[in-house]
Amino acid sequence: MALEVRNLQGIGMTSQRTRARMVDRLREKGIRDERVLGAMAGVPRHLFVEEALASRAYEDTALPIGFSQTISQPFVVARMIESVLTEKPRNVLEVGTGCGYQAAVLAQIFPEAYSVERIKALHERARANLLPLRLRNLRLAHGDGHAGLEKAAPFQAIVVAAASRQVPQALLRQLAPGGRMVLPLQEGTAQKLVLYERNGRGFVESELERVRFVPMETGKA
């Protein structure tokens, strides 16, 4: 138990003070939603990276997590979550669990959080990373993110953490009326972060900003 508590709190470059500086930088870069900032302040990002990279956990940069995947930079995590938030959050689906960090942040805000990961080894690693946080409202699934998670749909919010060349139609179908989905779209060699909002007539598309994500693959691995 003592080891678990120490790991959660962090020391030195993984301390609560370092995490607070990260949140201050997010404010400076334009993140305004206090629910997002509070969640980012509350989740120990250093638990989700390799021990050798722990001292860099609170830098505003993406870091490798193996399997040619990365943990997204804190600003992008905050930006994506802020873009899908409504006044009364209900449930959210994350596509691309990775190491579990963004799922943990989502679970601080949404009463029901689901996350699907196609790579079995990453799915298991995320489960282990998340265990000390005891997030009873978070459910992890191993599956193809293109298919979403039909059994838990519809979702008020969907956050896709990999770049797709086309919008997965299954994810649009699983978005609840009034819901929002954010995902990176690949256009040639560039990527853009796009928000989709579902209304009574269909979907409204808004481009947010340029980003760089790993590609969204099909199938399970």
Q: Would 11 be classed as within a structural domain? A: no
Q: Would 108 be classed as within a structural domain? A: yes
Nearest to 60 by CA among 94, 37, 29, 95: 29
What's the number of domains the chain is made of? Answer: 1
Q: Is the predicted pLDDT of residue 1 greater than 60, yes or no?
A: no
Q: Would 37 be classed as within a structural domain? A: no
Q: Which residues pair with 3 in a beta bridge?
A: none
Q: Would 24 be classed as within a structural domain? A: no
Q: What is the pLDDT of residue 10?
A: 56
pLDDT digits (tens, 9 = 90+) for 54-83: 999 999 999 999 999 999 999 999 999 999
By residue range, what is the domain housing residue 168?
60-210
Q: Would 41 be classed as within a structural domain? A: no
Q: Which residues contact 155 (CB under 8 A, 6 or more apart)?
A: 91, 92, 93, 114, 174, 175, 176, 179
Q: What is the pLDDT of residue 6?
A: 37
Q: Would 156 be classed as within a structural domain? A: yes
Distinct helix (H) and strand (E) counts, the chain:
7, 9
Write the CATH number for 195. 3.40.50.150
Q: What is the pLDDT of residue 7?
A: 60
pLDDT digits (tens, 9 = 90+) for 120-135: 999 999 999 999 999 9
For residue 73, give the DSSP letter.
P
Q: Which residues pair with 180 in a beta bridge?
A: 157, 197
Q: Is 55 a catalytic residue?
A: no
Q: Would 9 be classed as within a structural domain? A: no
Q: Would 97 be classed as within a structural domain? A: yes
Which candidate in 72, 83, 115, 164 is catalytic? 72
